């Protein structure tokens, strides 16, 4: 089946530094990737939708300058949390839909990245 690899799984960084999270589709081409954020014991909130070769679309309330998304190829999307602060600490999960997938086809999730900003 379709596999989405997300790296790193855990990262601890100091306040003010930037962190890059990678999301790769291993056995399919992902024209669209979604980045979600999940607080402890809460639901997944969509942050942005990225399409290969174009700018990401950010949901309301998500700062595009703080959460930089790049989808440079059909198998890789990256999320960079810039100038991280403790309130950015969260679980970030990417998901992908294949090139052949229609909008109502299953999404495949990465394993998530637990970010802790000290």
Partner 1 sequence: GENVEQHPSTLSVQEGDSAVIKCTYSDSASNYFPWYKQELGKRPQLIIDIRSNVGEKKDQRIAVTLNKTAKHFSLHITETQPEDSAVYFCAAFSVMDTGRRALTFGSGTRLQVQP
Residues near partner 1 (CB under 8 A): 34, 41-46, 49, 57-60, 91, 93, 95, 103-107, 109-112, 114
Residue with tokens 């291993």: 26
**3 or 72, CB closer to partner 1?**
3
**17 or 105, CB closer to partner 1?**
105
In the complex, the smallest distance separating the C-beta of residue 102 from partner 1, rounded to whole angstroms, is: 9
Whole-angstrom CA distances from 82 to 17, 49, 50, 66, 87 are 7, 18, 18, 5, 13
**60 or 100, CB closer to partner 1?**
60
Does residue 45 have a cis peptide bond before it, meaning omega lies within 30 degrees of 0? no
């Amino acid at each position: 089946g379709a596999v989405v690899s997300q790296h790193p799984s855990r990262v601890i960084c100091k306040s003010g530094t930037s962190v890059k999270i990678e999301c790769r589709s291993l056995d399919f081409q992902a024209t669209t990737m979604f980045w979600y954020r999940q607080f402890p014991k809460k639901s997944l909130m969509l942050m942005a939708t990225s399409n290969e070769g174009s700018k990401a679309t950010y949901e309301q309330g998500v700062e595009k300058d703080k959460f930089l998304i790049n989808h440079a190829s059909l198998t890789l999307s990256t999320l960079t949390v810039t100038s991280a602060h403790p309130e950015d600490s969260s679980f970030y999960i990417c998901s992908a839909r294949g090139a052949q997938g229609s909008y109502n086809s299953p999404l495949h999730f990465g394993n998530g990245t637990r970010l802790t900003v000290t």
